[in-house]
A and B are shown apart, each in its own frame.
Chain A
Amino acid sequence: MIELEHIVKNFTGGIHAVNDVSLTINDGDIYGIIGFSGAGKSTLVRCINLLERPDSGHVRIDGVEMTELKPKELYRARTKIGMIFQQFNLMPSRTVMQNVAYPLRSMTAEQKRAKVRELLALVDIPDKENAYPSELSGGQKQRVAIARALANDPTILLCDEATSALDPQTTGAILQLLKDLNRKLGLTIVVITHEMEVVKNICLKAAVMDAGRIIETGDVFTIFSQPQHQVTRNFVRTTSNLSKIETLIRDDSPMVRLKKGEVMARLVYIHADVSEPLISYASRAFDIEINIILADVEVVAGVMVGGTVVIFNGERDRINQAIEYYLSKNINVEVIRDAGTDA
């Protein structure tokens, strides 16, 4: 278990990099920390293995207070906390074999070789042990870095923007690998990212950081479906098609021009049972037309999340009844535009 309590870290010039952050991460979690660049998330994650020493606050890992360890104890403790980076940070003068063997200690050369081969098999690049990092692709480099981070059988893996330098396909493959490692080894994984996609893809719980503080925590599904804070909403929107409606409105697209009596609304599923035919049912039951402009439904943390942007056309009373019906079905209705009625 990782427990951070009231962590404060300032940099010279009085900048609050991390400002009173408390966070608990349970064993076996894949925990996301998301924020825009400069939010302090990289500094926060470095407070876990004390690459950055907090100015005040407590860092406890499995009950051990990290800030009170003597240097030698700290070096030993760090071998049990793996870390991977955006730029991979492989040593260019060493082969893959030598890179992965770097953190291994008190082993014979033969044992080291065996351990490295085992690790390379685990991250699925068994045939690259004699290559130099410059001969590898980004995804392969990150796999080597993961193997190296796991060399001393850590219980925790810290990922600092580990997929931000990779293309979307490779990102997917690396995230899948992390997920597998989490399941196979029971590894606790802390994922720092500015990409909502990453959190959505592998995390069950997440914290949103802004200006050195944590502004929202919870399970990823809730953060996604009911973001409380404006920054979180912005993040959620970056991954949703529904945000395109704002662009369409700004550009005054013909698609979003309303006639008298029409209402444009965003329907967002919260506790979604999207198996019900919500649109066609409401259309028939209240005798109105419902025109779908945009739709976006996806799976987050194993649950459907999403919504549609629709235009209602019909008598105002009936439109209101339809909206009531949706609200009763736990669907969040946000009226974006209302053309008004003649009456």
Chain B
Amino acid sequence: MQELMPNLMRRLPEFWKACGDTLLMEAWAGAIVFVFGLVFGIILTVTKPGGIMQNRPVYQVLDKIINLFRSIPFIILLTALMPLSRAIMGTAIYVRGVIVPLVFGATPFFSRQVESALAQTDKGLIEAALSMGSSPFEVIFRVYLRESLAPIIRAVTITIISLLGLTAMAGAVGAGGLGDFAIRYGHDRNMQDITWVVVIVLVIGVSIVQWLGEDFARRNTH
């Protein structure tokens, strides 16, 4: 081990901390993104023309805002949102400081994913539920969310993985985590063993998330 990856072995505590920071960013940002994205995705779906709570102004505004934030490169979002971060979280650095830009970066993406997952729901099911006296809210919870469980799980999987990419970038502006670790040592000081180990850890992480998601989605498909 010592010979194979000398640089890493000398910085093991720092490596574990980087792993922990990445997980922390994923967990916090992921949980918040999940809630907001789900809500926005549902609002987009039901207020869209022909939706069960059709509402043109709400749909148009939300649609445009999501497009706006999806268009801003994440690295710009990171610095642009620093004042907001300081206002909400009290700091613009470390894990705490990067949660706000991570949420702004990933929520629009996940909202669209949820929207397209819900769009796969057969229109006939909605119609049948309404004909049985379901209110729009019942349709959301008992038909849309329940019947789209598998595609929503797939959307969550994809979002967790793309969020992982964002956390690596966040590392570059002082958030810490595996991305930061790989850039500072692997890239800047050309310690190739560190680059490789980080890549392997990320590949394993992505694979586990992907596999869990697929398995869960499959078990909810009949």
Give me the 6 closest cross-chain CB pairs, A-B, nearest first: A89-B128, A103-B132, A89-B124, A79-B133, A83-B131, A78-B133
Question: Shortest beta-carbon distance, B115 to chain A, in Å?
Answer: 19
Query: A119 to B142, alpha carbons, bound, how many Å?
Result: 22
Inter-chain contact B146/A81, CB cutoff 8 Å: no
Question: Shortest beta-carbon distance, B14 to chain A, in Å?
Answer: 46
> With contacts A75-B134, A79-B133, A152-B133 known, is A92 near B128, CB below 8 A?
no
A36 within 8 A of B: no
Inter-chain contact A89/B125, CB cutoff 8 Å: yes
Interface residues in B, total, Cβ within 8 A: 20
Inter-chain contact A132/B222, CB cutoff 8 Å: yes
Inter-chain contact A51/B222, CB cutoff 8 Å: no
In the complex, the chain B residue whose C-beta lies closest to that of A98 is B146
Question: Shortest beta-carbon distance, B44 to chain A, in Å?
Answer: 20
Task: List chain B residues, Cβ under 8 A from A90.
Answer: 128
Inter-chain contact B147/A81, CB cutoff 8 Å: no
Q: Among the interface residues B131, B134, B135, which one has the most CB atoms of the partner chain A within 10 A? A: B131
Inter-chain contact A75/B128, CB cutoff 8 Å: no
Inter-chain contact A78/B135, CB cutoff 8 Å: no
Inter-chain contact B142/A102, CB cutoff 8 Å: yes
> With contacts A85-B124, A87-B124, A93-B146 known, is A75 near B222, CB below 8 A?
no
Task: List chain A residues, Cβ under 8 A from B222.
Answer: 92-93, 132-134
Question: Shortest beta-carbon distance, A81 to chain B, in Å?
Answer: 7
B77 within 8 A of A: no
Inter-chain contact B127/A89, CB cutoff 8 Å: yes
Which residues of chain B from 120 to 167 have any CB-CB distance to chain A below 8 Å in the complex? 122, 124-125, 127-135, 142-143, 146-147, 149
Task: List chain A residues, Cβ under 8 A from B133.
Answer: 75-79, 103, 152
Query: A78 to B142, alpha carbons, bound, how many Å?
Result: 17
Task: List chain A residues, Cβ under 8 A from B134.
Answer: 75, 103
Which residues of chain B from 49 to 83 have any CB-CB distance to chain A below 8 Å in the complex? none
B190 within 8 A of A: no
Inter-chain contact A51/B127, CB cutoff 8 Å: yes
Interface string of A117-140 (1 = CB under 8 A from B): 000000000000000111000000
> With contacts A91-B143, A92-B147, A132-B222 known, is A75 near B124, CB below 8 A?
no
Query: A49 to B134, alpha carbons, bound, how many Å?
Result: 12
Q: Total A-B pairs in contact (CB under 8 Å)?
A: 64
In the complex, the chain B residue whose C-beta lies closest to that of A134 is B222
Inter-chain contact A148/B132, CB cutoff 8 Å: yes
Which of A49, A71, A133 is B131 in contact with, Cβ under 8 Å?
A49
Query: A87 to B127, alpha carbons, bound, how many Å?
Result: 11
Which of A71, A78, A132, A134 is B132 in contact with, Cβ under 8 Å?
A78
Inter-chain contact A93/B130, CB cutoff 8 Å: no
Interchain Cβ contacts under 8 Å between A and B, 24 examples:
A51-B127, A71-B135, A72-B135, A75-B135, A78-B131, A78-B133, A83-B128, A85-B127, A85-B128, A89-B122, A89-B124, A89-B128, A90-B128, A91-B147, A93-B147, A93-B220, A93-B221, A103-B132, A103-B134, A133-B222, A148-B128, A148-B132, A149-B131, A152-B133
Task: List chain A residues, Cβ under 8 A from B125.
Answer: 89, 91
Which of B127, B132, B142, B149 is A79 in contact with, Cβ under 8 Å?
B132
Which residues of chain A from 77 to 115 have any CB-CB distance to chain B below 8 Å in the complex? 77-79, 81-83, 85, 87, 89-94, 102-103
In the complex, the chain B residue whose C-beta lies closest to that of A81 is B131
In the complex, the chain A residue whose C-beta lies closest to that of B135 is A75
Query: A93 to B145, alpha carbons, bound, how many Å?
Result: 11
Task: List chain A residues, Cβ under 8 A from B132.
Answer: 78-79, 83, 102-103, 148-149, 151-152
Query: A83 to B133, alpha carbons, bound, how many Å?
Result: 11
Task: List chain A residues, Cβ under 8 A from B220.
Answer: 93
Which residues of chain B from 97 to 127 have any CB-CB distance to chain A below 8 Å in the complex? 122, 124-125, 127
Inter-chain contact A51/B131, CB cutoff 8 Å: yes
Query: A93 to B122, alpha carbons, bound, how many Å?
Result: 12
Question: Shortest beta-carbon distance, A211 to chain B, in Å?
Answer: 24
Interface string of A49-90 (1 = CB under 8 A from B): 101000000000000000000011001111101110101011
In the complex, the chain A residue whose C-beta lies closest to that of B148 is A93
Task: List chain B residues, Cβ under 8 A from A92.
Answer: 147, 222
In the complex, the chain A residue whose C-beta lies closest to that of B124 is A89
Query: A76 to B131, alpha carbons, bound, how many Å?
Result: 10
Task: List chain B residues, Cβ under 8 A from A72.
Answer: 135
Task: List chain A residues, Cβ under 8 A from B128.
Answer: 83, 85, 89-90, 145, 148
Task: List chain A residues, Cβ under 8 A from B127.
Answer: 51, 85, 89
Question: Shortest beta-carbon distance, B178 to chain A, in Å?
Answer: 37
Question: Shortest beta-carbon distance, B222 to chain A, in Å?
Answer: 4
Question: Shortest beta-carbon distance, B205 to chain A, in Å?
Answer: 29
Inter-chain contact B130/A51, CB cutoff 8 Å: yes
Q: Among the interface residues B124, B127, B128, B134, which one has the most CB atoms of the partner chain A within 10 A? A: B128
